[in-house]
Each structure stands twice: as C-alpha cells, then as structure tokens.
C-alpha cells in the first residue's frame, strides 16, 4: 500500500482520511488537535513525517498553505505526488510550483463538497483537478472516479473564474442569511425554501473558508461587488417607483 | 352557478380564470387586453359589470388597487363577497374595509404561487386567507382546500411580517441574480444550484410585482436593508482579515 500523508486534520482532512484509509497507508498531521485520528483508526505523525509519504495532501486552510509548503519542501521525496484541496486554485498552484523541488509531481484539486454535502456518500460529488507539474492528474482523476466522484479537469484560472459565482457569491449570500437568522416561516414558497436549504448547506463552514473564498480568489471581489451594487440599484429603483406612484 | 367577477386579467387573473371557470359563471374585466379570455372560454365585460357579480376578485397590481376599489364601491351588490389576491395584505385590507359599503363581506387573500410555480397543478400550493369583514373567510378557505391548496388563515399584519422574508428578501436576491446573469456553470455545488433554481422561479415575475413587494409591505425595507448591511459587513471583515494576513 502506498503511504498517504494528510497534512491538516480539520473538517476536510477528517473526511478525506475516512475515505482514503481503505486504499492507502494513511498518516495524518496537524499543528492542532489530531485526537479524532484514533476513532478513524489512522496513524498520526509530525508534519515532516507525513510530508515524506508517497502522496502528500495539503488540507490546511489556504491562509496557512504557503507556510506549510515552505516547511515540507526540504523533506518531500523525489517522485512523490503533492496535491492540495483548497477552495481556490491559482494561488496554491503557484505556491506549490514555486517552492516544491522539480523532482516532485504536483496536482491542484478542489473537492466541491464537505462533510455536510457528502453526508450520504461521495457519489456524484464534484472534484476539480488542475494539472500543475507532471501528468499524474490523470491518475488522480481516475481514482476520484473510482470513488464515485464527478471529476472535471480544468485550469486553475478557469476554476477560479467559475468559483467567483459558484462559491464567492453563493457563500456571501448564504452566510449573510445565516447571520441575519432568516426564520423558517410557516407560510413559505419554493423560492424561499431554496434560501433555507442554502443556509443548511453552508451553516457549519468555517470563517477561514469564507475569508479564503472571498480574498484569495482573484475574481471574487468583482462578482460580489456587482451583486451588492445591483441589489442596491433595485432597491433605489423601487423606492423611486413608490414615490412616483 | 354563482357569478364570479375577476377584475384584472394579468398573469394571475388568467391563472385564476382557468381554475375557477368549472366552478363559477366567470366574467373577466381589465382596462387592458382581455383577448386571452376567448381561449379560456370565459366571458368578458366592463369593470362595473364584473363588480356586480356575487363574488368579486381584485387581481389588479397593488399599485392600481385603491383606484379600482373606489370605482367598484358604488356598484358592488349588497351581500357580495369581495376578495383581493395581492402579495401584500395590510394595505389592501385597509383600502377595502374603508371604501366598500358595509353590506359587502371582505376577505383578503394571498395565493403564494403563480403560473410558473403552479405549472404542474395547484396541489400543495400555499394560499393565505385573512379575515377582514364577515365570516366568509371560512368558505374561501374550504374552497381553496377543495382545489388542493394548502390554506393558512392569519392576520394581514402577521402575513406581511413573514413576507418581508419570504417575498421581499427572496425576490431581491433572485431578481439581483437574474439581472447580473449568473451563469449555469459546469462546476457547480448543491448550494449554487439553489441560486439557479431561485432564478428560474422568479425570472418571469413583473417589475410591478417586485415594486409592490418591496414598497407596499411595511416590514420589507427593514429586512432587505439588514441583508445588505450584513453582506457589506462580511465583505469588509473579509478584506480586513486578508490585509492582516
């Protein structure tokens, strides 16, 4: 069995460990709490130990990723595959390509699911795979498909352009609705039900993920600002129509 | 068969005529185009003629309703039932109670559906019924249930409080997303799918309906402003977190 190091044992690292432990010899590492590893029956070790595996997955918050890459660069083995699972792709792909030795293959990935959306299994959940260095993105894609995932291969830039809508805008709306506590009204429409279900899907996501999606996707700010400007414009137009009536 | 006058032959008036023509002797009236009445096989007449029916439904835009109520007040028959179907309830209920003669019973209603959401039938669609004068709201509720509708009886004020979320906020978000043309991306999450489906449900609603929902519900502005303030706050917090990192 190939050794698989998971660095970062938060919500996604734990989900990954649960699905990978039957296929690999998994070791998890995290600067914080790794006590959940016992329940999952996977080994724990230092970040350096996990980084010396055949395949290394970076599952730390994007905000911490450049630091972790610098830390593992001296210890990753020639021929190893390093992949990340961050929600933005242009920055992590550049960080990995710039800092990791040329003897290492690199694939940037984005699993568009988490513990909440995959609570009933992985089947049909989307996985984006972006080639960075070498051609092992094909193996990653094939393995994802073998788990039932719906795999798309694309560039980091195209990914980030689409995610400005799919993630930055969606998480802005969803987190705002969660924060203002929209009520589950007795009188409701199908339209409102969509907002309630959006809240349910993103309610447990971390603030770190929200900030990463908004700040570290170079196309996010333009789309979220366009949304707010249009909403303000519509309310102003309404007000003007009300005064004219 | 009781005579049923429908005043206002827009999107909802036409939907109502289609479902009521088997139960009543329906006559429709509208200051504009009523040519669709022929296809539905229902009679047309002047606003005054429709207002002289046993049951009179006001299906005009809320913005035109006070004018129509003033026009029909002299011709409604003693013992008639007048009901409206507007998306806000406090203002129409007050307008009807103030202007219609005491010999007329009044029920304010809000069918929380339209041609798009009821395209596969009325079963399970919500109907809100608010008593205004007399006790014929019970009959209206029973008839709605006989059509398969999910009927709720409540006050106009409670209705408007809930609709500030269910309609004003939902239509603001949906109309904004339609206007900025969010794309149907290949890479998408369940969360984003909810936004796309929201767009599909409200895309064809009129600007008049949007303005009525925003301007004529006394609780709407507070909720929509709270949403925009919170969204701006979240983006500012993100930006600050990005700069600190």
Distance CA B234, CA A160 (A): 20
Same domain, B91 and B133: yes
Same domain, A234 and A201: yes
Same domain, B175 and B84: no
pLDDT in tens, B90-135: 999 999 999 999 999 999 999 999 888 898 999 999 999 999 999 9
DSSP secondary structure letter of residue A43: E
- Interface pTM, i.e. ipTM: 0.85
B75/chain A closest Cα distance in angstroms: 26
Task: With a cut of 80, say whether residue B137 has pLDDT above it.
Answer: yes
A176/chain B closest Cα distance in angstroms: 6
Predicted pLDDT at A228: 98
Predicted pLDDT at A200: 95
Those of residues 91-120 in B touching chain A at CB distance below 8 A are 112-113, 117
CB contact under 8 A, A166 and B185: yes
Predicted pLDDT at B245: 66
Same domain, B28 and B79: yes
Q: Which of A108, A129, A154 is the last residue of a domain?
A: A154
Find the closest chain B residue to A159 by CA distance: B187
| Residue of A188, A192, A244 to mutate when probing chain B, most B C-beta within 10 A | A192
Task: With a cut of 90, say whether residue B186 has pLDDT above it.
Answer: no
Task: With a cut of 80, say whether residue B244 has pLDDT above it.
Answer: no
CB contact under 8 A, B214 and A170: no
Q: Round the CA-based radius of gyration of chain A to a whole number and report it.
A: 20
Query: Looking at residue A79, which CATH number applies to its domain?
Result: 3.40.50.720
Total structural domains within chain A:
2
Q: Which of B154, B180, B197 is the last residue of a domain?
A: B154
Same domain, B129 and B188: no
Predicted pLDDT at B116: 82
What percentage of chain B carries pLDDT values higher than 90?
Answer: 90
Find, among B213, B7, B225, the residue nearest to B91 by Cα. B213
Same domain, A133 and A75: yes
A188 to chain B, any CB pair closer than 8 A? The answer is yes
Q: Which of A137, A154, A171 is the last residue of a domain?
A: A154
Same domain, B167 and B140: no
Same domain, B38 and B140: yes
A77/chain B closest Cα distance in angstroms: 30
pLDDT in tens, B37-68: 999 999 999 999 999 999 999 999 999 999 99
Mean pLDDT of chain B: 95
User: How many CB atoms within 10 Å of residue B5?
Assistant: 28
User: How many CB atoms within 10 Å of residue B219?
Assistant: 17
Same domain, B115 and B222: no
Same domain, B91 and B198: no
Which domain does B68 fall in, by range? Answer: 3-154
Parts of chain A with a pLDDT under 50 = none
Same domain, B69 and B134: yes
Same domain, B211 and B105: no
A166/chain B closest Cα distance in angstroms: 5
Distance CA B77, CA B54 (A): 7
Over residues B190-195, mean pLDDT:
95
């Amino acid at each position: 069995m190939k050794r698989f190091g998971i660095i970062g044992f938060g919500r996604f690292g734990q989900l990954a460990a649960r699905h990978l432990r039957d296929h690999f010899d998994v070791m998890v590492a995290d600067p914080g709490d790794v006590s959940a590893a016992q329940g999952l029956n996977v080994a724990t070790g230092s970040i350096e130990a996990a980084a010396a595996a055949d395949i290394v997955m970076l599952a730390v918050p994007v905000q911490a990723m450049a630091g972790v890459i610098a830390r593992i660069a001296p210890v990753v083995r020639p021929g190893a595959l390093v992949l990340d699972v961050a929600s933005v792709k242009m920055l992590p792909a550049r960080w990995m390509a710039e800092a990791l030795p040329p003897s290492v293959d690199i694939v940037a990935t984005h699993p568009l699911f988490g513990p909440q959306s995959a609570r009933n299994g992985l089947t049909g959940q989307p996985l984006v795979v972006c080639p960075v260095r070498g051609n092992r993105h094909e193996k990653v894609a094939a393995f994802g498909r073998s788990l039932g995932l719906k795999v798309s291969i694309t560039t980091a830039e195209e990914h980030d352009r689409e995610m400005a809508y799919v993630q930055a805008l969606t998480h802005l709306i969803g987190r705002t609705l969660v924060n203002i506590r929209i009520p589950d009204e007795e009188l409701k429409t199908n339209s409102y039900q969509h907002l309630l279900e959006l809240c349910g899907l993103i309610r447990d996501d971390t603030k770190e993920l929200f900030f990463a999606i908004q700040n570290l996707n170079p196309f996010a700010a333009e789309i979220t600002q366009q949304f707010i400007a249009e909403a303000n414009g519509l309310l102003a137009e309404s007000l003007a129509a009300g005064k004219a009536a």
